[in-house]
Amino acid sequence: MIASRRLWLLAAVSVVALLTVLHAERDASPEKAGEMRAAAVLMTETVQRFSAFCDSAGIAIDLTTDPNGTGLIGPEMTELTTTVGHLAAKRTSLNPQMAALVVSLLNEADVTAGDTVLVGASGSFPGLLVAVFSACRALSVVPVAMLSVGASSYGCTRPELDLVDFYGVLRRFGLVDTAPLAVSLGGDEDIGLELDAAARQRLFAKLGEAGPRFICEPSLKKNVALRLGLIEKINLKAFINCGGSHVNLGADAMILKVKPGVHRHLPLPVPSKRGMMHALSARNVPVIHLLYLRGLALRYGLEWDPVPLPAGETAGLPQDTGRQNIRIKLIAMIYFVVLSLGLISGRKSGRFEI
C-alpha cells in the first residue's frame, strides 16, 4: 500500500509538472492569434492590390516565375540585379503566414503598440517588406525604413519599379505612413559596385532627388555611423533586417551563422566590419533577422513555395518547432524521472505495484 501511495503521489507530481510545461509553452493567446490573423489578412489584401496595380500600370507579370500572379516576383536579371536569388524563397516570402510570423517575432522581442522599429531592407525580398509592414500595422507599431535599392534576382528588379518606387506604392496603399529615412544603392559595399555605369548614374540622379537621405559612403564604418546618426533621437524597440544588404549584415563571415529569428545579443566582429545589426545589438536593441527563408519555413512550419497562396483568414498560424521540440523533451524527461523514482521506491519497499 505504501508503494502504491508513493506511486500515486509521483503520478500527481508528474501531472502538475506536465501541465506547467504545457502552460509555459502554450499556443498563442486568442488576442495574439487575432493579431497574427489580422496581419495575414492585411498582407493578402496588399498582395492582391499590388497585382491589380501592376495590371492598371501595364507592368507585365510573368506567370511562369510568378504563378500566383502577385507582381512581386521581378525578372531574374536586369540592371538592378546584384546577386543570384532563389526563386522558391522569393515566392515563399509572399505567403501571408509570413506576416503572422513577424507579429510573433515582434511579440517575442517585447515590441508593443506605439513602439518604433527600424526596418532595414534591400530590394531582394519585397514580400518580406509587405509582411513586416502588415505586422506593424496589425500591432499599431511604427516602422521607420532604410532602403537599399539593389536586389537579388526575382526581387524588386524592374528598373521602372525599383524598391523606392515599390515603397511609394505601399505608402499610397496606406500600409506605411512615412517616407523612408534613408536610401542607398545597395549591392557590393552598399554603393552598387557591380552595377553597370549607366545604371549607377541613373540611380545616383534618382535617389539624390528622392527626398530621404541618400547615403553613398564606401566605408562600411562611416555608412553605419551616418545611419546611426539619423536615428539618434528615436527610441527604437527593435531592428528588423529584411534581406542581405551589406550595410545591415556587415563584412564578417560570422554573420552567415546567425539564424533567422530574434536575437538580443549578437556576436560582435571588429568595429570596421560591423553592420547595422551589430551596431544596434551592441546598444541592446533586439534584432529580428529575416533571411534564409528555408530555415524560417522549417523552424516555424511555413508552407514552402505555396501555389496557390493560402488566404490570410485561413492560413495556419506559425509555431516555433524548436520550442515544441523542447516541450516534448521536457515531457519525456519528466516521464522517465517519475518512472525511475517509482522503480526505486518499489525496490526499497520490496514490492512494486502499478
DSSP string, 276-317: HHHHHHHTT--EEEE--HHHHHHHHTPPSS-SSPPPTTTPPP
Please check whether residues 285 and 166 belong to one and the same domain. Answer: yes
Note down pLDDT in tens along the chain; length 354 residues: 555 555 555 555 454 444 444 444 445 688 899 999 999 999 999 999 999 999 999 999 999 999 999 999 999 999 999 999 999 999 999 999 999 999 999 999 999 999 999 999 999 999 999 999 999 999 999 999 999 999 999 999 999 999 999 999 999 999 999 999 999 999 999 999 999 899 999 999 999 887 779 999 999 999 999 999 999 999 999 999 999 999 999 999 999 999 999 999 999 999 999 999 999 999 999 999 999 999 999 999 999 999 999 987 766 788 887 544 444 344 445 444 444 544 455 555 544 333
The label of the residue with cell 524560417 reads 296
Please check whether residues 205 and 332 belong to one and the same domain. Answer: no
Please check whether residues 326 and 242 belong to one and the same domain. Answer: no
Is 14 part of any domain?
yes
Per the structure, the count of domains in the chain is: 2
Please check whether residues 333 and 192 belong to one and the same domain. Answer: no
Is 312 part of any domain?
no
Is 232 part of any domain?
yes
Please check whether residues 200 and 181 belong to one and the same domain. Answer: yes
DSSP assignment of 166-181, as one string?
HHHHHHHHTS--S--S
How far is C-alpha 137 from the chain's CA centre? 15
116 close to 234: Cβ distance less than 8 angstroms: yes
Report the alpha-carbon distance of residue 265 to residue 278 in Å, rounded: 9
Please check whether residues 63 and 49 belong to one and the same domain. Answer: yes
Report CA-CA distances (Å) from 161 to 32, 53, 100.
35, 12, 27
Is 75 part of any domain?
yes
Q: What is the pLDDT of residue 28?
A: 61
Please check whether residues 55 and 100 belong to one and the same domain. Answer: yes
Q: What is the pLDDT of residue 282?
A: 97
Please check whether residues 119 and 14 belong to one and the same domain. Answer: no
Please check whether residues 136 and 208 belong to one and the same domain. Answer: yes
Q: E strand or H helix at 108, and its extent?
A: helix 97-108
How far is C-alpha 213 from the chain's CA centre? 25
Please check whether residues 265 and 141 belong to one and the same domain. Answer: yes
Q: What is the pLDDT of residue 209?
A: 83
Amino acid symbol at 210: A
The whole-model pTM stands at: 0.84
Is 354 part of any domain?
no
Q: What is the pLDDT of residue 317?
A: 82
Please check whether residues 245 and 341 belong to one and the same domain. Answer: no
Domain that holds residue 17: 2-24+320-349
Please check whether residues 173 and 256 belong to one and the same domain. Answer: yes
